[in-house]
Structure 1
């Protein structure tokens, strides 16, 4: 019985990166022997055990055979005669198919160290094609290791997998899991680029894939292409360390531009509303968490209004707050402002200064929200105890007055008919 550290721990150690978790493979043992030594079995599909002290996972060396489409269509085999090389050959990439023995000796049968040096993602064997999740994993790795490129033969294999419908068999939860993890990496745009290069983005998020090739006005978007803009926006969100909901909202905010009439391009009037159905469909299909879905919808609907914040009248601003439920959920409103700022920052090219220009819209709206929230709605309501049908309007007007008095407005006084 021999134990080896495998996978990401060895890879990251060779890259000089911090090692967070260790995955172990055990060669030459049976499940009974593992239990006798105090390991606790936890694996469902194949024998995996938790170490009695460290609680790290130890998996018996195994082989696998494809029996059905998709992620779960495998039969696994473990036995004491399964070798370390038998186990490593089933892994996805050469950089993840290196094992380190207890004495520090490396077993690298597929030249993973060379690919680490050359910064290349290369599949270990044709068995890669049996698991479509590996396409998503490579895309996620690309977002983490931005200097790595996909080997031409691996990209060609990924394209064939997409053409053969393997990606279509992925369960929505797993797609979202990998996409969400990729969004939380340092350079999420690299994930999108890899998914587009192999054709997978058009299968898993066609609404997003449709944005590439859609032009925008050069005055406001020197990058022109809406897909290119989206990549800049999500990378800016990552550079600021924003949470998943903000990053996803930033990714989704312009989805409607793929649905505007081409004869009107590069203008996209009404794209905010057009994007809502697309976001709803995508989120329903991938089972996106409600927190992410709701913020994405709000950002898509309101980012245009946020961009005009300084010229909005007080009544329009309060109506915006009401529509966004900002009085009950001010933190979510602040998240929407962050995602909207990403939209502003994520544009331009070399020499453009969008990343450093002033962005007064957010502080302007936050100051207005603070003033409006200072209104004692209960006291206002008490004045209309005998006319409850007028309470809502009275509270609204009191908040409008507070915004007018508390925040300098660039527009004229509101009137009764003004609306966002």
Structure 2
């Protein structure tokens, strides 16, 4: 990483400079000091972000997301009050609890930052990092009586992700992966070797057969989300390995015939690979 950055606010639009500084901080060794945050806060308080078009913001957001420590950009923007102006959907996640796989409750905003840094360690693509940034935005206003469970967050999240992408002019591959992660990430976390039929359907739904690159990126999204939980930083993501076994098992299944016949053949191949007694009893 680079040393701590300095920036001359007189050389560019003050509002855009806030985002650029946050992106540069994400590339540096140190966290921003209080003086820098105060200076950024003054720019935000003066209303300089109001006149900056989202399309102008996107290159700076992209620079920060693709940095070695994307969480520093989010932390800096939040610390100076800019995050709620630029990405209110993300700012609203801080303080919202979630549980996962028997883990203790986590703060969704903090979890988002850890998952972004996990993606940076993997040198992940921009669509992967954007998906991690956006995929949970439907959880910010879950009914309090349901927390830390987030019922119907997919329905709330889809239009928000689409609006974020339209607002900034984000690339189509960022939008597509974020929407896929929204609908499938939690399902991937729950995938079981005892259910070969649903696994076969999932592989088709997430593009494992006809969009392998998108499938690989989704696996990275899920792995980073998994690894962002405490104690999992260096743990291999088991569900990705499971789906790779299933995908390999389907390689010999002919792509011809009816959809139903192909799905049945894939499920049988997966069941054999998983040694699934449940599937055997169901089809027997």
Normalising by structure 2, what TM-score? 0.89
In the TM superposition, 1:296-335 aligns within 5 A as 296-311=178-193, 313-335=195-217
Q: 1:175 to 1:405 in 2, by over 3 A?
A: same
Alpha-carbon distance, 1:277 to partner: 2.2
Deviation of the 1:193 alpha carbon = 0.5
1:408 and 2:275 equivalent?
yes
In the comparison of the two structures, how many residue pairs are matched?
283
Residues 96 and 109 of structure 2 are in contact (CA less than 8 Å); yes or no, is this contact kept in structure 1?
Answer: yes
TM-fit CA distance, 1:311: 4.6
More helix by proportion, 1 or 2? 2
- 2:126 alignment partner in structure 1: 244
Give the match for residue 133 of structure 1: 16
Q: Please report how far the alpha carbon of residue 141 of structure 1 lies from its aligned counterpart in structure 2 after TM superposition.
A: 1.1
Q: Which residue of 1 aligns with 2:261?
A: 394
Of 143, 163, 173, the match for 1:261: 143
8 Å CA contact 1:311–1:410 kept in 2: the answer is no
Query: Which residues of structure 1 form unaligned runs of 5+?
Result: 1-14, 18-115, 382-390
- Cα deviation, residue 410, structure 1: 7.7
The structure with more strand, counted as a fraction of residues: 1
- How far residue 123 of structure 1 moved from its aligned partner, in angstroms, is 5.2
Aligned to 2:235: 357
Alignment of 1:177-216 (within 5 A): 177-216=59-98
Secondary structure, aligned partner of 2:106: coil
Asked if structure 1 preserves the Cα contact closer than 8 Å seen for 2:105 and 2:148, the reply is: no
**For the residues of structure 1 that align with 2:155 and 2:29, how far apart are their CA atoms?**
34
Is 2:102 the partner of 1:224?
no
Deviations 1:227-273 (A, max 9, x none): 01111111011111112111222222322221311221122234344
| Shift in alpha-carbon separation, 1:240–1:197, aligned structure 2, 3 A | same
Q: Deviations over 1:81-134 (max 9, x none)?
A: xxxxxxxxxxxxxxxxxxxxxxxxxxxxxxxxxxx7xx5x55546x37843111
Helix, strand or coil at the partner of 2:208:
coil
Distance (Å, rounded) in 1 between the aligned partners of 2:99 and 2:174:
29
Whole-angstrom CA distance in 2 between matches of 1:186 and 1:306: 27
Question: Matches of 1:413 and 1:181 in 2, distance apart?
Answer: 51
1:327–1:373 CA contact under 8 A, matched in 2: no
Higher relative contact order (CA 8 A, sep 6+): 2
What does residue range 152-171 of structure 1 map to in structure 2 within 5 Å?
A: 152=35, 154-171=36-53
Unaligned runs of at least 5 residues, structure 2? none
Deviations 1:63-84 (A, max 9, x none): xxxxxxxxxxxxxxxxxxxxxx
Equivalent-residue separation in structure 2 for 1:252 and 1:163 (angstroms):
26
